Amino acid sequence: MENKKVLLGMSGGVDSSVSALLLKNMGYEVVGITLELFAGSCCNIDTNIDAKNVCNSLNIPHITYNLKEEFKCKVIDNFIAEYANQRTPNPCIECNKYMKFGFMYEKAKEIGCSYIATGHYARMEYSEKYGKYVLKKANNIAKDQSYVLYNLPKELLGKVIFPLGDMTSKEEVRNIARTSNLKVANKPDSEDICFVPDGDYKRFLENNSNLQPKEGNIVTADGQVLGKHQGLYKYTIGQRKGLGISYKEPLFVVGFNKEKNELIVGEQEKIYKSEMLVNNINLLLVDKLEEATRVSVKTRYSAKEEKATIEKVDEDLIKVVFDNPVARITPGQSAVFYIGDVVLGGGKILS
């Protein structure tokens, strides 16, 4: 019989701290772990101290795990490479896959834990309908983070616990922290990419890679030159602000010509697409797509779901056909497929 020992990822914030409390109250033997990922960011000495203090107050052990090299290799290098190729990455998804549900799970097994847990807002439940554990949206849809979890390794279904999945609001979580005298109860949420705490990803790229300002033309699809840009990595599909050009109507970024170092702009209707291709597929609900399947799709974390039909094109390629055209389909972002509140799977937007 498996033990009830769980390794909980702790960031020093209120979500993971309350998760520790809830898991302990549920009868689990909890071990807190703080991943050291990037110096001078969310993973700094204060993070460690806050997490350790919470663990001490709950009388549970706390360990740290240095993953800075792995984080650079799997997350930061990917982040840089994507922007270098005119793609817009979501580093949280890579971090979840490789750090929180990859290396952390290996560490869990090493110290005898049967489960891992995080403070994400999502649910992992056994489904009678599908006869297996499934990843589901959180009850609090406004806080739902299932989108950034679609890429977790399939073998972890049923091995991950999300204690906050049934919470109705963030205030409910903070109230639990307050009534339990957790000192992090009012600690603000971190919103930015952890290794770009000031939100200036362009400066981060310039300071940490060979991507540097390089002037080129801003052109229409038919080649009309409208102005100059200062580096293709500074732009993303659908962007309107900051183009520094004037035209008879609003223009948006619709594409890139890397060979000519050109930024291609167009009118609003040009940012809508009726279909897209997705690769780097990770299916959680099924082993493979046997037939065309009706789903809801999210093309960005903050985007609303869109009705669509998905179909396998190749071993690692899915075609998505939307019921209605969708704006700002951005290569590098993830497309996540849902059937109701269950995550079918997802992949990276190719085109």
Active site residues: 95, 194
Q: Write the single-letter amino acid at 161.
A: I
**Residue 96 and residue 229: Cα distance in Å, rounded?**
34
Q: Write the single-letter amino acid at 310.
A: I
How far are the Cα atoms of 103, 220, 266 from residue 223, in angstroms, in the given order? 48, 5, 11
Structure tokens, 49: 């101290």
Residues 6+ apart with CB under 8 A from 146: 122, 135, 136, 137, 138, 336, 338, 343
Q: Write the single-letter amino acid at 274.
A: S
Q: 208 with 37: CB under 8 angstroms?
A: no
E strands, 132-271, in order? 132-137, 160-161, 216-220, 225-229, 252-257, 262-266
**Residue 326 and residue 306: Cα distance in Å, rounded?**
8
**Residue 10 and residue 177: Cα distance in Å, rounded?**
15
Q: 331 with 279: CB under 8 angstroms?
A: no
Sign of CA dihedral 94, 100, 104, 106: negative
